[in-house]
């Protein structure tokens, strides 16, 4: 398996949707390729860091203001 072939299956590998046979081939490639090991680990970390940090918080005061505006318009039939 080449690095390009490995990369084409990277998402399936991370999402756990590859067949057992393909997974074995991917793992065999990883065993001998530091480059793809780094790519896999740092891509996983990329997702993790975005998932655990809320970049756009909706402040409570803004939430309340929006809720009131929406509900008031709904009550008036929009």
Partner 1 sequence: MSTIQVTGENEQHPDVALVASAVAGDVQAFEKLIRKYDRQIFRIAQHITQNREDAEDVVQDAFLKAYEKLDQFQGNSKFYTWLVRIAVNESLMRLRKRRTGKMVSIDEDIETDEGSVPRDLADWSPNPEQNYSQTELAKILRKTIQGLPPGFRVVFVLRDVDGLSTEETAEMLGLSVPAVKSRLLRARLQLRERLSRYFRSKKAGEK
| Euclidean distance between CA atoms 11 and 44, whole angstroms | 10
What number of chain residues touch partner 1 (CB under 8 A)? Answer: 35
* Residue 65: both structure tokens together: 């203001």
Tell me how far, at minimum, the Cβ of 35 lies from partner 1, in Å: 6
Alpha helices of the chain — where are they, by DSSP H?
3-8, 10-15, 20-32, 34-51, 60-75
Rg (CA), the chain: 22
Pattern of binders to partner 1 over 4-43, x per CB under 8 A? Answer: x--xx-xx----------------------xx--xx-xxx
Positions touching partner 1 (CB under 8 A) are 3-4, 7-8, 10-11, 34-35, 38-39, 41-43, 45-47, 49-51, 53-56, 58, 62-63, 66-67, 69-71, 73-75, 78
């Amino acid at each position: 398996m080449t690095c390009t072939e490995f990369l084409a299956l990277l998402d399936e590998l991370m999402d756990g949707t590859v067949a057992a046979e393909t997974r074995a081939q991917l793992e065999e490639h990883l065993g001998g390729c530091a480059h793809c090991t780094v790519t896999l680990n740092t891509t996983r970390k990329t997702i993790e860091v975005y998932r655990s940090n809320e970049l756009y918080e909706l402040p409570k005061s803004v939430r309340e203001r929006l809720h009131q505006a929406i509900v008031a318009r709904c009550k008036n039939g929009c």
